[in-house]
Amino acid sequence: MKSLGKYIIFIATLFVRRESLGTYVRLVFDESVKIGVNSIFIFAIVSSFMGAVTTIQTAYNLISPLIPDYVISLVVRDMTILELAPTIMAIVFAGKVGSNIAGELGTMRITEQIDALEVMGINSTSYLVLPKIIAALFMYPMLVVLAGFLSIYGGYLAGTLTGVITGTEFIYGIRYDFVEYNITFALIKSFVFAFLVASISAYKGFFTEGGALEVGVASTSAVTNSCIAILLADYLLAQLLL
């Protein structure tokens, strides 16, 4: 409970004693490149293979001749949009971006760079953390959209190249009984997960005490706590919004 209270106070301090808007625009742009653009490669690899494997495994499990083949792509689509793209990729996001944020802020803390900001009269929380959270809120939903597209495309390639399903059936299944709200739900989840990963990782890094060993511990802790928060939020959002 003490940590939760400290985390809430930490979030509240993001919005006091802010610097000029121009400063934040530049910082958010820089962070967007670090958080978003630099994550495209790993997101592309993971999501493509995830879609491919999902297609093959779904086909493997659908052995009844009564079930049409297009169900394979329908399953891949719904799994991708509802869970794989926003949630599983959030775990990858926590591993890639969360550990980076915690490590960066932890190192800044132990090398007194955060103290240097404070002494200059700059709100270090707002200056260092707010741009990261805003950048994550901008970039993660875009990464989720990309991951969703590549996952389904990966499934299409795996299905058609192995002869599990024809291209026409795959496309038919993708379009069949499509619920647009699922996209909205996935985007809502992506905003929530982006906030959780960025803020929890920043919190863990910001309050690092000690040396290099503690920075490593903070990074690990950031990823672990982010993953737990993602899974809890995933369950709550599914209960509330579906």
Partner 1 sequence: MIEIQNIHKSFDGKQVLHGISATFEQGKTNLIIGASGTGKSVLLKNIVGLIQPDAGSVLYDGRDFTSGDKVLKTDVRREIGMLFQGGALFDSKNVQENVMFPLNVLTKMPKDEKLDRVNTCLAKVGLENVNKKMPSEISGGMKKRVGIARAIVNHSKYLFCDEPNSGLDPQTSIRIDNLIKEITEELNITTVIVTHDMNSVMEIGDYVMFIHQGHKLWEGNNQNIFDCEVKELEDFIFANNLMRAIRDQNRKK
Provide the binding-site residues for partner 1, judged by CB under 8 A: 17, 19, 23, 107-108, 111-113, 115-116, 118-122, 127
3 state SS for 33-56:
HHHCHHHHHHHHHHHHHHHHHHHH
Neighbours of 69 (CB within 10 A): 18
Query: In the complex with partner 1, which residue's Cβ is closer, 117 or 157?
Result: 117
Give the shortest CB-123-to-partner 1 separation in angstroms: 9
Query: In the complex with partner 1, which residue's Cβ is closer, 105 or 147?
Result: 105
Give the shortest CB-222-to-partner 1 separation in angstroms: 19
Query: In the complex with partner 1, which residue's Cβ is closer, 113 or 182?
Result: 113
Neighbours of 107 (CB within 10 A): 17
3 state SS for 135-170:
HHHHHHHHHHHHHHHHHHHHHHHHHHHHCCCCHHHH
Provide the CA 35 distance to its chain's centre, in angstroms.
10
Give the shortest CB-17-to-partner 1 separation in angstroms: 7
Give the shortest CB-120-to-partner 1 separation in angstroms: 5
CB-CB contact of 129 with 28 (8 Å): no
Distance CA 141, CA 13 (A): 25
Query: In the complex with partner 1, which residue's Cβ is closer, 118 or 168?
Result: 118
Query: In the complex with partner 1, which residue's Cβ is closer, 41 or 112?
Result: 112
Distance CA 50, CA 66 (A): 26
Query: In the complex with partner 1, which residue's Cβ is closer, 21 or 240?
Result: 21
Instruction: With both helix axes pointing from N to C terminus, report the angle between 70-79 and 167-175 in degrees, rounded to the nearest 10.
Output: 50
Distance CA 128, CA 195 (A): 15
Give the shortest CB-12-to-partner 1 separation in angstroms: 14
- The residue count of the chain comes to 242
Give the shortest CB-136-to-partner 1 separation in angstroms: 18
